[in-house]
């Protein structure tokens, strides 16, 4: 919990803007102070993770109650561990019946398929049977499956196993299942941001298990500042991002893993092998106005590795990225480089900027 707060690192620095008259600065400071008085914060547990809200609005308390209800509603649709969720129903009826789905389930499945196509299958929610075999996204505990087991499950993970219609979804074979763990928090963040904006919130941030969205700026007009964690040391960071109105999402093997016989196995599975992805990356941070995209791409690019990810970034709009590689490089795409201050040299990281 402490760590999460540290890595949000919302430093409340006060900047005196050059060019402002003293009066204007004073008025601005007063406005910022008024806004600060309307700060409302809530921490809750949902979707198997800690969620935090930090918003400025005079009706903030009521707005956050609504936001929490919306999260519970979406959790009840998307969860794979809640047995009567829409997604659990879809999984239970695999190979048997199409199930009715809600508009949100339709929207998130549509997005997931879109990102599967965009990443050439690196993002694959149909990887679920193998995720479960490794004991992730289930209550059964982690274990290393045998090669035979993985081979037997591979045919059930094809991404065209899902038939999506307007009001129904259907998994074509018994044993197929989908897992929205790689995209659900991003989708939920976008829904919550829409709710907050509709309610008139212009400044604040939300963190859905580290899946961040920064609304507007700080109350004094300064950009929000976030630390990018050093994947090798949970108390350390490799640099700071300054942003407004954007989502920042990090995926990395260090976030969820287990050890067996001296080997570490993490939760992001390479659909090509059925094993935890080994792409030479320690983490991928995506910066985008769209949190659904940031979430899906952080997972997918972690599977794809640096070169393939940069090739995708060069042709795709609307996102920037910071990669940390196993060989000690921190690589920022040029669109975020100006807003990123590298601070990893003390830990022997080397900094590079990738160009379009
Ligand atoms: P994230 O934390 O967003 O990177 O997502 C990781 C979660 O997504 C895992 O815990 C699994 O539930 C699921 N997942 C694992 N591998 C993949 C994959 N290749 N594509 C999509 N989702 C995945
Ligand atoms: Mg993700």
pLDDT in single tens digits along all 356 residues of the chain: 333 433 444 333 323 333 446 777 788 788 778 778 899 999 999 999 999 999 999 999 999 999 999 999 999 999 988 888 999 999 999 999 999 999 999 999 999 999 999 999 999 999 999 999 999 988 889 999 999 999 999 999 999 999 999 999 999 999 999 999 999 999 999 999 999 999 999 999 999 998 999 999 999 999 999 999 999 999 999 999 999 999 999 999 999 999 999 999 999 999 999 999 999 999 999 999 999 999 999 999 999 999 999 999 999 989 999 999 999 999 999 999 999 999 999 889 999 999 99
111 lines ligand 1 (CB under 6 A): no
The whole model's pTM is what? 0.92
With contact defined as beta carbons under 8 Å apart, do 268 and 303 qualify?
yes
Report how far ligand 2's centroid is from the alpha carbon of 21 (Å).
Answer: 45
CA 316/CA 349 separation, integer angstroms? 27
Which ligand has the minimum distance to the alpha carbon of residue 180?
Answer: 1
| Closest-CA residue to 10 (of 197, 189, 207, 190) | 207
CA 271/CA 300 separation, integer angstroms? 10
CA 170/CA 134 separation, integer angstroms? 24
| Closest-CA residue to 96 (of 170, 195, 10, 196) | 170
pLDDT at res. 63: 98
Report how far ligand 2's centroid is from the alpha carbon of 237 (Å).
Answer: 20
136 lines ligand 1 (CB under 6 A): yes
pLDDT at res. 5: 37
With contact defined as beta carbons under 8 Å apart, do 349 and 330 qualify?
yes
pLDDT at res. 36: 83
295 lines ligand 1 (CB under 6 A): yes
With contact defined as beta carbons under 8 Å apart, do 56 and 201 qualify?
yes
Q: Which residues are within 8 A (CB) of 302 and not within 5 positions of it... i.e. 6 or more apart?
A: 251, 252, 253, 268, 277, 279, 281, 283, 284
Ligand 2 ion: residues within 5 Å (CB): 182, 295, 298-299
Q: Which residues are within 8 A (CB) of 267 and not within 5 positions of it... i.e. 6 or more apart?
A: 131, 134, 136, 137, 181, 253, 255, 256, 257, 276
pLDDT at res. 1: 36
Pocket test of ligand 1: the residue of 81, 134, 140, 181 to mutate, having most ligand atoms within 8 Å of its CB, is: 181
Token representation of residue 286: 């995506």
Q: Which residues are within 8 A (CB) of 328 and not within 5 positions of it... i.e. 6 or more apart?
A: 348, 349, 350
């Amino acid at each position: 919990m402490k760590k999460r707060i540290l890595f949000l690192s919302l430093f409340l620095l006060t900047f005196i803007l050059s060019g402002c008259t003293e009066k204007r600065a004073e008025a601005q400071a007063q406005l910022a102070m008024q806004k600060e008085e309307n700060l409302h914060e809530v921490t809750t547990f949902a979707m198997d993770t800690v969620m935090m809200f930090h918003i400025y609005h005079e009706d903030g308390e009521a707005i956050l109650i609504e936001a929490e209800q919306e999260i519970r509603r979406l959790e009840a649709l998307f969860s794979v561990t809640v047995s009567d969720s829409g997604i659990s129903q879809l999984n239970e009826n695999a190979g048997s019946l199409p199930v009715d789905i809600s508009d949100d389930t339709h929207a998130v499945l549509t997005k997931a398929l879109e990102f599967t196509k965009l990443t050439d299958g690196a993002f694959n929610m149909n990887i679920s049977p193998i995720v479960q075999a490794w004991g992730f996204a289930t209550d059964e505990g982690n274990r290393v499956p045998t090669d035979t087991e993985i081979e037997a499950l591979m045919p059930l993970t094809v991404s065209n196993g899902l038939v999506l219609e307007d009001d129904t979804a259907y998994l074509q074979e018994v044993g197929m299942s989908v897992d929205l763990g790689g995209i659900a928090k991003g989708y939920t963040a976008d829904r919550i941001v829409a709710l907050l904006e509709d309610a008139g919130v212009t400044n604040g941030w939300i963190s859905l298990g580290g899946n961040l969205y920064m609304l507007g700026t700080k109350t004094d007009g300064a950009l929000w500042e976030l630390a990018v964690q050093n994947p090798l040391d949970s108390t350390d960071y490799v640099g700071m991002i300054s942003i407004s109105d954007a989502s920042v999402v990090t995926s990395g093997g260090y976030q969820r893993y287990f050890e067996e016989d001296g080997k570490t196995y993490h939760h992001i599975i390479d659909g090509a092998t059925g094993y935890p992805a080994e792409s030479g990356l320690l983490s991928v941070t995506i910066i985008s106005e769209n949190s659904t995209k940031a979430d899906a791409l952080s997972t997918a690019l972690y599977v794809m590795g640096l070169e393939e990810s940069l090739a995708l970034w060069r042709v795709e709009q609307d996102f920037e990225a910071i990669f940390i590689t196993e060989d000690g490089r921190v690589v920022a795409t040029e669109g975020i480089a100006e807003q990123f201050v590298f601070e990893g040299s003390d830990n022997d990281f080397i900094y590079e900027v990738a160009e379009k």
